[in-house]
Every structure is written in C-alpha cells, then in structure tokens.
Amino acid sequence: MKIKDLKVVYDAQAIAARVAEMGQEINRLYAGEDVVVVCVLKGAFMFFADLVRHLDMRPELDFVRVASYGASTATCGTVSFTKDVEVPLQGKHVLLVEDIVDTGHTVDFLFRQLAARGAKSLRLAALVDKQERRAVPVRVDFAGFALPGGFIVGYGLDYAERYRELPGIYEAVIEPEGA
Ligand code: PRP
C-alpha cells in the first residue's frame, strides 16, 4: 500500500478549537478531584500534549504503550502492555487519552487492566471516534470528532511510522496495487 495523496479532514485550527472545548468539558467534570491522565503511545502523543495544556486540576500524567497482534491495519483481540502505567491509580480518577478508537480492542484491554488497579473511575477522551470497524463496544466519554471511515494520518496518526508530525488530520488516498 502506498499513499498517493493526502486530503485535509481536520486542519490544525479545527483541531485546536475542538481540543480546547474538550479541555473545558474535562475541567468541569473533574474540578477539585485527583486525576491521572494516561496517554496511549504512540498515536496520542500530540493530542495528549495539546489537551493537557488546557487542564486546570493539576493532574498526574502517565504513559502506556500496548502491542497488538494480527492484521497490520486492524487491532485484533490480543493486546498486551509493552509499557505499563507507573503512577499508582488506587482511589484516583483515570482519564485515558487516545488519538483514535477503531475496533475498540485497545481501549477494552486498557479499561480492564486499569480497573483492576483500583481506579475510582475510568473515562476515555478520544480525538477521533471511528465507528466503521468497531468490534467491541466502547464508551467514548469525550469525543473530538466522529468519523465514519477512511484511512487517516497526521496529528499523531501514522502510516508505517510516518506522517505523525503533520499538524492536521488527513485522509490518505491509496495508490492501487501494481499502479
Ligand atoms: C492505534 C491507535 C489506538 C489503536 C486503536 O494505535 O493509536 O491506540 O490503534 O485501534 P483499536 O480501537 O482497533 O484498538 P496503533 O496500534 O496503530 O499504535 P500507535 O499508537 O503506536 O500508532
């Protein structure tokens, strides 16, 4: 698969405006509470960095990374940690930050794992809620944008580790095999 062209889906300005709104929603919900905000690497790094700058409850920040096995473009049911949380979660509110929810397997795995650490509540902020391939039901508490389908890159999202640095989100136009 080769990317032939990129079409803007959400530009940097639209993303910044939506992320600011999400930050305010999150602030209202957690005012005065102990919150751990957890970034799911790598894809969420840019959204996380922008989102936490809007948060005013002085949260603890942590990072996780997971690996999934199976087809390269869709997460299957086998997910495991390659980097676990380091901050104790017992009795604290946990906000998981994802760039995109696709099949739902990654979030489903993380919610089960983090719930077992005694978190007081678990919520999810996802910049893009992509429902086309959802295999496991997932509640997205704070959703940036709902996208029906398509292959997107940029603002943290990659194709073969490239395009993550782009300030906007783009739909990738794929060159047909053998072209
Ligand atoms: C992407 C994305 C989510 C996950 C969502 O990560 O960042 O973590 O897939 O897919 P799912 O809902 O089908 O589980 P990816 O595995 O591409 O790794 P990356 O974040 O390092 O790019």
pLDDT in tens, 61-87: 999 999 987 655 566 668 999 999 999
**Ligand 1 atom 21 nearest Cα:** 42
Asked if residue 103 has its Cβ within 6 Å of ligand 1, the reply is yes
Asked if residue 42 has its Cβ within 6 Å of ligand 1, the reply is yes
Provide mean pLDDT across the span 17-33.
Answer: 97
Provide mean pLDDT across the span 81-97.
Answer: 96
Atom of ligand 1 nearest to the CA of 108: 14
- Nearest-angstrom CA–CA distance, 57 and 113: 24
Does pLDDT of 150 surpass 60? Answer: yes
Catalytic, 102? Answer yes
Does pLDDT of 31 surpass 70? Answer: yes
**Ligand 1 atom 7 nearest Cα:** 43
Provide mean pLDDT across the span 116-129.
Answer: 96
Asked if residue 130 has its Cβ within 6 Å of ligand 1, the reply is no
State the pTM of this model: 0.94
Asked if residue 99 has its Cβ within 6 Å of ligand 1, the reply is yes
Q: Which strands, in side-by-side order, build the sheet including 2-10?
A: 2-10, 169-175, 152-153
- Nearest-angstrom CA–CA distance, 47 and 32: 23
Tell me how long the chain is.
Answer: 179
